[in-house]
Chain A
Amino acid sequence: MTDGPRIAILLATLVAMLAAACGPRRIAGPSRPGDGPSRPGDEMIVLLRDSEGGTIGRARVSNPSGSTDLAAARDATQVAENEPPGPANTLSEADVQRIFGGALSALPPVPRRFTLNFRFESNELTDESRALLPVILNAVKERSVPDVVVIGHTDTTGTPEANFALGLKRAMTVRNLLVEAGLDASAIEVTSHGERDPRIYTADGTPEPRNRRVEIAVR
């Protein structure tokens, strides 16, 4: 994180404070969202576009008096105790930064997930998966305090116990590749979900190459 955005926020805050102190008193007129006379306990909740992928989720804000749905980017509702949440209105980008910038600027980097596949009945990665290793290493090196979790998975052929062990073996294979490539071993957590966390749901005893995989979470 550079100081640029922080200074920008600081400047924006100062300018806002000066404007409030020196500017003409507003007696009436449209106030900006979140500017109104805020009472203790007043709340504002805003839906935001996801930083990765740019998709927009949904949120429902409710209390015993009612509920409001937020469905579009920067949709916001204001809530006070013992009153239903206010109707959704859309904030400007500038309002979002002005009101929530202090928290948004402290969000950690976007976590990344990678899936590595194995050649059939083998501990060898497929060529495509092998090509992902440098990308994974870069994602780790970008972070100041990286968490790396390597999780082994299997299909449903064989017993759950044997599959737990096989998943762990696959995860260790990948861990060793990452350590060989220069990653600090103490930063890597290795675990197995065996056959219990499939990518594709199947009946027991079903061979399914897409479930024979190792997932790597980089946070």
Chain B
Amino acid sequence: MTIPRWVIVLTLVLASTTPALSQEPVAAGRIKVASGSAFIVRESKMIPAQVGHVVFVADGLRTGADGRIGVTLKDDTRVSLGPGSEVRLDRFVYAPQDGRLGLVLKIVRGVAAYVSGQIAKLSPDAVRLETPAAIVGVRGTSLAIRVEP
């Protein structure tokens, strides 16, 4: 599919002139489990993660040597991190009434668990788990991933 040049130009102009619009954070889920040293990484800031905190699209989650984090997203997807781990929520779109669905989760390092939710059920191809060396496509499932630092 080719995108007309004027669309690209218009998008770039809008993106550069309306930062408030382009950076509107989209809530994706909430932290349900947090212990030890656990952080949300948001726009390169480290925010101590607490149970109840909202997780936004583009947020990272990071744990120290004694940390753990568990998150439930709005489509019932669950993601958790063990110690010394980092994941990033690169994409989360859950609007089944408009047929818009998408989830891209990057496991940067450490150990993480993923349990699929409604997005994987409604549109399995819309879910992608990425690691530094591979891409994982899922058909309604639970997975665990380890990436050596």
The minimal Cβ–Cβ distance linking B87 to chain A, given in whole angstroms, is: 10
Contact partner, A107, options B35, B70, B76, B149, Cβ 8 Å: B70
The docked-state distance in angstroms from the alpha carbon of A63 to that of B35 is 34
Are A43 and B142 in contact, with the CB atoms below 8 A?
A: no
Stretch of B12-20, B40-48, B110-118 on the interface side: B110-118
Residue of B with least CB distance to A57: B141
Residue of A with least CB distance to B31: A145
Interface of B is mostly: strand
A125 within 8 A of B: no
Interface residues of B in 6-59 (CB under 8 A from A): 30, 32-33, 35, 51-52
Residue of B with least CB distance to A52: B115
Interface residues of B in 76-103 (CB under 8 A from A): 76, 78, 80-83, 85, 96-98
Interface residues of B in 102-149 (CB under 8 A from A): 110-113, 115-117, 131-149
Of the candidates A55, A61, A99, the one having the most CB atoms from chain B within 10 angstroms of its own CB is: A61
In the complex, per-residue mask of A92-107: 1 if CB is within 8 Å of any chain B CB, else 0: 0000100111111111
Residue of A with least CB distance to B79: A107
Which chain A residues lie closer than 8 Å to B70 at the CB level?
106-108
Interface residues of A in 58-115 (CB under 8 A from B): 58-63, 79-83, 85, 96, 99-111, 113
Q: Bin the interface of chain B by size.
A: 35 or more
Which chain A residues lie closer than 8 Å to B144 at the CB level?
45-46, 48, 96, 99-100, 103-104
The minimal Cβ–Cβ distance linking B144 to chain A, given in whole angstroms, is: 4
Which chain A residues lie closer than 8 Å to B132 at the CB level?
41, 43, 81
Are B98 and A111 in contact, with the CB atoms below 8 A?
A: no
The docked-state distance in angstroms from the alpha carbon of A104 to that of B110 is 12
Are A145 and B51 in contact, with the CB atoms below 8 A?
A: yes
Contact partner, B139, options A34, A58, A99, Cβ 8 Å: A58
The minimal Cβ–Cβ distance linking A104 to chain B, given in whole angstroms, is: 5
Which chain A residues lie closer than 8 Å to B32 at the CB level?
108-109, 143-145, 219
Q: Contacts A62-B135, A63-B133 known; A57 to B116 CB distance under 8 Å?
A: yes
Binding site for B on A (CB under 8 A): 1, 34, 38-51, 55-63, 79-83, 85, 96, 99-111, 113, 143-145, 147, 149, 193-194, 196-197, 217, 219
A-B contact pairs, 26 of them (CB 8 A): A1-B33, A45-B145, A45-B146, A46-B144, A49-B142, A50-B140, A51-B142, A56-B141, A59-B138, A61-B135, A62-B135, A62-B137, A63-B133, A79-B134, A80-B133, A85-B134, A103-B111, A104-B80, A107-B70, A145-B52, A149-B74, A193-B96, A194-B97, A196-B97, A219-B32, A219-B74
